[in-house]
Amino acid sequence: MIDYVRNNVELILAAFGQHIALALIPVVIGVLVALPLGYLAVRREWLYQPLVTITGVLYSIPSLALFVVLPVIIGTKVLSPLNIVVALAIYTVALLVRSVADALRSVDRNVTQAATAMGYRPLKRLFGVDLPIALPVMLAGLRVATVSNISLVSVGAIIGVGGLGSLFTRGLQLRFAEPIIVGIVLSVLLAAVCDSLIVLAQRYFTPWARVGART
């Protein structure tokens, strides 16, 4: 194992770097799209069920099928990393729209009414009151989306773009266990680090939650 890693450092680091980019760029895109959609679903109640239903259907599409179909839809090459980014961004939005909407809907109406009575306009109340209170629920959804993306990137290796998934296919083709083990370890490590960072961010931005837990 040590010899394999030593002899293939550049290959492993390239696959790892690609995996990070393919997994996390869609998360950023997904958050930027899901936040306004989730907010819209709360502000316009009649939109909640259609948005939740549509995003649920999108998430149920098999990842491999989406990777294969996307080049036809958006006009990219089959081996373009953009296919993976777009597909995972769709999955991220599909996961987060409901999380954002449910998180905002869970904010106590007495709190929102009090903020409105104090002169908070809708957008100011959103960023100053609603989002901070809803943040724990939203970040729980973000944790699921991030870890899910990290695992789904590897599926892209079947079509030639898959970060650490390329180590899996290489190992299977050569009947060589070492690249598979390295790919699994790095995937789990990346997921654990990202999940821990989100938890730390939640603890930092919601200090009142820690106080409430201790009391």
Q: Where are the domains of the chain?
A: 2-210
Task: State the DSSP H helix or E strand holding residue 43, giving kind and residue range, or none if neither.
Answer: helix 9-43
Q: pTM for the complete prediction?
A: 0.87
Nearest to 183 by CA among 33, 55, 14, 49: 14
- Within 13 Å and on the Cβ side, how many CA atoms surround 36? 3
Compute the Cα dihedral for 10, 11, 12, 16 and give only its sign: positive
The phi and psi torsions of 166 (rounded to 5 degrees) equal -65, -30
CA–CA dist 63, 155 (Å, integer): 7
What is the structure's pLDDT at 27? 95
Question: How does pLDDT run across 44-96, given as a tens digit for each residue?
Answer: 888 889 998 998 888 888 887 888 888 888 888 877 888 899 999 999 999 99
Instruction: Confirm or reject CATH 1.10.3720.10 for domain 2-210, answering yes or no.
Output: yes
